[in-house]
Amino acid sequence: MACLKRPDGTMVLMNVGNQEDPQGAALNSPGGEIYSPQPPLTPDQVKAIITSDKW
């Protein structure tokens, strides 16, 4: 997960995961089915997306 608050107050929030329910939103959920052995993006890729001036 990445969250950025821009100087104009805009919040950019991004969640990336390789599981059905990575944050355990469902009560007593361990995360659900694993879709891939690793998350689809690296931490550097997430940072590049969240800090992009295209938002």
pTM confidence score? 0.66
Length of the chain: 55
pLDDT digits (tens, 9 = 90+) for 31-50: 678 888 888 899 999 999 99
What is the pLDDT at residue 39? Answer: 83
- Distance, in Å, from the CA atom of 12 to the CA atom of 3, rounded to the nearest integer, reads 6
Res. 18: pLDDT tops 70: yes
Give me the residue spans of the domains in the chain.
Answer: 1-16+32-54
24: number of Cβ within 10 Å = 12
Are 48 and 4 within 8 A, CB to CB?
A: no
What is the pLDDT at residue 46? Answer: 94
